[in-house]
Amino acid sequence: MKYTEAPNQATAYLREALPLMVRNNIPPNPLNYALWYTYVSKKVPALNAALDSTLNTYGTCPNLLSEQLFQDHLAENDANGSGNEVLTGLLKLTSLLQDQAGEVAGNTDSYSQQLRKSFEALQETRTNPESGLPLESIIQDLATNTQAINESTQRFQKRIDEAQKEIEQLRQELTKTRQDARMDVLTGLYNRRVFDTELAQLIDLELPAGFSLVLVDVDHFKQFNDTYGHLMGDKVLQYVGRILKEKCAEPLIPVRFGGEEFAVLMPGTNLDGSQKLAEELRKRIEAIRIRQKSSGTVISSITASFGVATFHSDDSAQSLIQRADDALYQAKQQGRNQVRLQSSPATKT
């Protein structure tokens, strides 16, 4: 596969490809860069169709399928033995710098030859003043060639500076894109994808101190939405998210679980510690007052129910979530605005 785009177009393709890779949980490696760079360029329609079908089926593109798609749609184009020419926006920048460096090297070599010729001319003029070149001519040649090498070097330095800025901008955009893919836009908390990933990692780590899970559900939220509207409902979720963010510093992981539900993963925290934090959160949320903007009159208050469970060796992610959800259900059944515990699988109802 040949890539002949100008540097600015290559960079634009890369900027379009990176968010797609992050959004679809595609590992950032050279093979995937090539696939998704080609995808956004629309140079190989069959590849686009195959990737679209894969995403519809799996929600991502598994590594084995990525390798197969690369072989089917990109590598085969180099079967004539010319070798793979897989370029991305970053490689384009590198190639550009290499070309410029080659220009400088060529100019430097030419300058060296001109210096040698000028030196020989000076020697000849000193030995044979009548037959040698005029001194003014030699000086002019030296000045002209020196200016040329200076201009070439300055162009190279300018290109380096521009490339460094471009690479830094791409790095920042990639960082932001990755961060955006992990966050819930409304509350600023981590999203469900992060929860699933972090929970799986906590289970694999087998922490000596264990960890706990707290599920939070805003009480009567649907009724609040119906009464005061979705904009006010969003404000409530933002208030709750702000409280969780303030109270749940690292290593705790506060998450918007979905809708009016939130979760907190608590590494190294036992049942007592989790219950204590849940109670603090409950009191903070209970203190929220919704006021009428025009008069400042309190029109509603907010409460939330909590379910707490600690991880045990025979737990899976699903069973731990279920036990915390059972505890949350108990809190709601017993009057809401309270914390209930599920300390072990044996107590599951």
Active site residues: 260
d(CA 42, CA 48): 7
d(CA 93, CA 171): 13
SS (H, E, C) 215-269: EEEECCHHHHHHHHCHHHHHHHHHHHHHHHHHHCCCCCEEEEEECCEEEEEEECC
Cα–Cα nearest to 262, from 316, 219, 202: 219
Cα–Cα nearest to 136, from 146, 148, 122: 122
Residues 6+ apart with CB under 8 A from 70: 31, 34, 35
d(CA 73, CA 67): 10
Sign of CA dihedral 43, 47, 53, 55: negative
For residues 69 and 61, is the Cβ–Cβ distance under 8 A? Answer: yes
Cα–Cα nearest to 218, from 250, 245, 256, 254: 256
Q: In what order do the strands lie in the sheet with 253-258?
A: 253-258, 261-267, 211-218, 304-310, 339-342
Task: Give the CA dihedral 155, 161, 163, 166, nearest 10 degrees.
Answer: -140
d(CA 13, CA 258): 33
**DSSP string for 270-320:** -HHHHHHHHHHHHHHHHT-EEE-TTT--EEEE--EEEEEEE--TT--HHHH
For residues 290 and 299, is the Cβ–Cβ distance under 8 A? Answer: yes
